[in-house]
Amino acid sequence: MRAAVFHEPGGPDVLRIEEVDAPVPGPGEALVRVRAVALNHLDLWLRRSLIVETPMPHIGGSDVAGEVVELGPEVTVPGIEVGTRVVVDPSLACGRCEWCGRGERSLCVEYRILGEHTQGGFAEYVVVPAENLMPVPAGFDIVRAAAAPLVYCTAWRGLITRAGVRPGERVLITGASGGVGTAAIQVARLAGAQVFAVTTTEHIERALELGAHVAIDRNVEDFSRRVWQETGKRGVDVVFDSVGAAVWAANLRSLARGGRLVTYGATTGHAAESDLRLIFWKQLQVIGTTMSNRAEFRDVMRLVFAGELHPVVDVVWPLERIAEAHERLERGEQFGKIVLTP
């Protein structure tokens, strides 16, 4: 099969389209013909080898949609059979530990992500646990299905499950032009919140069209100062952030008393400094979140299939353009998800 492979860390130029052996499904697994696979910042970190558990040579790609072409032994998942169009839950867990017993797969002591700790979907075929598959309704665009799982699950768990966003609250979203950011704008709006989106000059209007009430250009102003002005010196109830070190202080300044800072990434660095006086005097909460559990995945995908949430697709390119896709994501030129078709 054709696959986008890298054998060593480096820039986008290390990615190669190669012929490799197709995977074979084992017990409880399914072989999926990949029809669409979306990029994430995770794929950039993997290519740079910032994550040591990545198997080499490596095929990335966590957000996959396609159809089942073969089932391994012992597959008994209702609705999953050869020919079924499916979207993949990228979360992989042991199913045996304390956290799995509570239904919290993303807290599993052996937690893994498809395409990070295993070979992923930047290929014609991928093997996944059959229980991680969810049927895609007839007529639903397979590209939009692939653009949804990782980013919408991250946004939903972070804003709804972890932060408990309520109607009327104010939510600030940094990195609002990215995949999770565009998902978070919609999830926060669906929850009844007033949304403040931090983005770049060229994406201001698109953030507003997507549902943000206020869009702030980080290239021309301090977003924490703008938030202070827009809220009458009150601040927002929730900050939803993946940028990390570069905006950490501004995130804390943007919060109202009793506010919650939800962190799900660190694209500008993980070593952030906090003014502890702000945290204890304003009684702030710092909440970590990553990915989702199985119930959250299914809830989110049902909302996507029902048209309540709308995956934003930036471009759709053939797999052969994967190096160019990495470059586009690395430069931050995209609005929404870059999707490849093997």
> How many residues are there in the chain?
342
Q: Name the nearest CA neighbour of 181 among 202, 210, 201, 161.
A: 210
pLDDT for the residue numbered 123: 98
pLDDT for the residue numbered 142: 97
pLDDT for the residue numbered 268: 82
DSSP state of 137: P
CB atoms within 10 A of CB 291: 22
pLDDT for the residue numbered 52: 62
Assigned CATH for 152-288: 3.40.50.720
Token pair recorded at residue 128 = 């996944």
Give the pLDDT of the chain (342 residues) as one tens digit per residue.
Answer: 999 999 999 999 999 999 999 999 999 999 999 999 999 999 998 998 866 677 889 999 999 999 999 999 999 899 999 999 999 999 999 999 999 999 999 999 999 999 999 999 999 999 999 999 999 999 999 999 999 999 999 999 999 999 999 999 999 999 998 889 999 999 999 999 999 999 988 899 999 999 999 999 998 899 999 999 999 999 999 999 999 888 899 999 999 999 999 999 888 888 888 989 999 999 999 999 999 999 999 999 999 999 999 999 999 999 999 999 999 999 988 888 999 999
First to last CA, the chain: 10
> What are the C-alpha distances in Å from 12 to residues 15, 71, 84, 276, 328?
6, 34, 34, 40, 10
pLDDT for the residue numbered 51: 65
Distance in angstroms (rounded) separating the CA atoms of residues 146 and 38: 6
Do 2-147+311-341 and 152-288 show the same overall fold?
no
CB atoms within 10 A of CB 73: 9
Residue type, 191: A
pLDDT for the residue numbered 70: 97
Domain ranges within the chain, ordered by starting residue: 2-147+311-341, 152-288
DSSP state of 157: I
Say which residues have a Cβ less than 8 Å from residue 128's Cβ, sequence separation at least 6: 29, 30, 32, 64, 88, 114
Handedness of CA 161, 186, 203, 212 (dihedral sign): negative
Assigned CATH for 2-147+311-341: 3.90.180.10
Report helix, strand and coil shares of the chain as percent, to nearest 5.
Answer: 30, 25, 40
3 state SS of 124: coil
